[in-house]
Amino acid sequence: MIIAVDGPTASGKGTIASAIAAHFGLPHLDTGLLYRAVGRQVQLAGTDPDNPDDALAAADFPDCLLDDPELRSEAIGGFASRVSIHPEVRAALLERQRVFAQQAGGAVLDGRDIGTVICPDADVKLFVTASLDARTDRRFAEMQSQGREMTRAEVRDQIELRDERDMNRKDAPLKPASDAFVLETTALDKNASIAAAIEAVEGERGGPR
């Protein structure tokens, strides 16, 4: 069973995907980490994330970079959004994601184009979303818990910028697949969001709505 979980930044899709994977006993891949690793590699190399050649070169990052705690920072999230607009980078990471999805027994993948591009034939597709204010509050709280010095206004601006870039890029823009179950989490806490997602997966597995 392949489960695709898409959605904008700070919507809760990563937490939900991880919980779904644990519930159904499936491996989980946060595909956003791959793009964050490319962005981090660009940063470390001192090259230009807006240059397609520099971004593509960074796609050949060492696997150990995926364990870098800096990948979760807002700064690297911005770099990831910038390198992800390049078709060359997306093509370079495409096969790695599909191989993971096609392993025996299935998998859960979360990102921004899993249900539309990476796994268009996924057994279940979820699109997790929430209001801009809710996502800002979540990410700001996360930044505070990590001791990162950012104002709420700065976090909101970065999320808006990433939304604009992700939704309007020419190659694989962020959008729900036509057959995705849209899960709105604005008014839900973590546990309620996870419960709603698991219920949705069970319902989707049972057949068409």
**What would the mean pLDDT of 20-48 be, rounded to a whole number?**
96
Instruction: Using the predicted structure, report yes or no on whether residue 129 has a pLDDT greater than 50.
Output: yes
Structural domains of the chain sorted by starting position, each given as residue range(s) with its CATH number in brackets: 2-202 (3.40.50.300)
**What would the mean pLDDT of 160-173 be, rounded to a whole number?**
90
Listed in sequence order, the residues at least 6 apart from 96 whose beta carbon sits closer than 8 Å to its beta carbon are: 34
Instruction: Using the predicted structure, report yes or no on whether residue 207 has a pLDDT greater than 70.
Output: no
Instruction: Using the predicted structure, report yes or no on whether residue 48 has a pLDDT greater than 60.
Output: yes
Percent of the chain with pLDDT over 70: 98
Which pLDDT does position 59 carry in this prediction? 96
Give all strands (DSSP E) within the chain, no chain letters.
2-6, 28-30, 107-111, 124-129, 181-184
Which pLDDT does position 147 carry in this prediction? 85
Q: How far apart are CA 74 and CA 39, in angstroms?
A: 11
Question: pTM of this prediction?
Answer: 0.85
Instruction: Using the predicted structure, report yes or no on whether residue 103 has a pLDDT greater than 60.
Output: yes
Rounded (5°) CA angle 164-12-204 = 105
Mean residue pLDDT across the chain: 93
Q: Which residues of 186-208 are buried (b: 16+ CB within 10 A; e: fewer)?
A: eebeeeebbebbeebbeebeeee
The DSSP 8-state label assigned to residue 180 in this structure reads: P
Question: Which token pair is 79?
Answer: 């770099």
Percent of the chain with pLDDT over 90: 85
Which pLDDT does position 108 carry in this prediction? 98
Q: How far is CA 11 from CA 2, 112, 193, in A?
A: 21, 11, 10
Locate tokens 């591009």: which residue?
117
Rounded (5°) CA angle 139-72-66 = 155
Which pLDDT does position 146 carry in this prediction? 83
- 134 touches 28 (CB < 8 A): no
Which pLDDT does position 181 carry in this prediction? 96
Q: How many CB atoms lie within 10 A of CB 149?
A: 7
- 76 touches 36 (CB < 8 A): yes
Instruction: Using the predicted structure, report yes or no on whether residue 209 has a pLDDT greater than 80.
Output: no
Instruction: Using the predicted structure, report yes or no on whether residue 208 has a pLDDT greater than 50.
Output: no
